[in-house]
Structure 1
């Protein structure tokens, strides 16, 4: 179970990275429609983080409570590369969601128990819907 807890904590770090990235984007957005969409996505990441933390606890582990040092550096670098236009912020969020999905797919490939795998796959499906929503905002 130690391996499963470690993988779930890595996934949880990614959720926190997403939450903090959306916080940055929301502060910069002036368009209320886009801001509302970003707030909804951020809220879902928070719910996902709580579910994963609960699963880790149920497995007897201690959930991480932030994205970790590497995640915070990566988030900072990603924010430097984006223009603060609505389109730039949407593209940044889309890039972050895509990256998160790729990393999460790797975690799902590892040795997770069935309940943990189902939880991660459910979250991944929702994250894919986020990319669809974000893509529609650019058009």
Structure 2
């Protein structure tokens, strides 16, 4: 594998770790959420994370590499911080605020990948754009819930 492919795989694994972290955090939020609309949105978000975990894993494996099956050491520390925030998220409003921030981070990661890797195969770019579109939809859904007082 050439150095460009190594960088692509490394960054795909970072996106995958983000999906793992998002799924873990949103599962915690689902337990705490009171509003049925918020719970439905969180469940839908979990489906999206699972879809993209599968797709990113497949793409990484297509390079002959192993996909990250956890969040990694730095992400574990970040996840611990998120778990503390989750414990502090004692209201639907706080869950919404933290969820919106998480989706914003995911969108930034997608943009960073696209900016960094301008010469990737078209089918991989499609996967990243699909991830970005799904993250935007979740972001909009969460923002709409917040604006409408869930």
Unaligned runs of 5+ in 1: none
Q: Could you say which residue in structure 1 is the equivalent of 2:67?
A: 63
Q: Could you say which residue in structure 2 is the equivalent of 1:105?
A: 111
Write the mapping of 1:50-129 to structure 2, written as runs, cut at 5 A.
50-81=54-85, 82-111=88-117, 112-129=120-137
Provide the rounded CA distance (Å) in 2 between the counterparts of 1:17 and 1:131: 16
> TM-score, normalized by length of structure 2?
0.86
**Does the 8 Å contact 2:110/2:132 carry over to 1?**
yes
1:14 aligns with one of 18, 35, 50:
18
Unaligned runs of 5+ in 2: none
Provide the rounded CA distance (Å) in 2 between the counterparts of 1:6 and 1:115: 18
For the pair shown, the structure with the greater C-alpha radius of gyration is 2
Q: Deviations over 1:78-105 (max 9, x none)?
A: 3434431001001110000001111221
> TM-score, normalized by length of structure 1?
0.92
Q: Could you say which residue in structure 1 is the equivalent of 2:40?
A: 36
Equivalent residue pairs, number? 139
**Does the 8 Å contact 1:4/1:113 carry over to 2?**
no
Secondary structure class of the residue paired with 2:69: coil
Provide the rounded CA distance (Å) in 1 between the counterparts of 2:12 and 2:89: 33
Provide the rounded CA distance (Å) in 2 between the counterparts of 1:73 and 1:21: 13
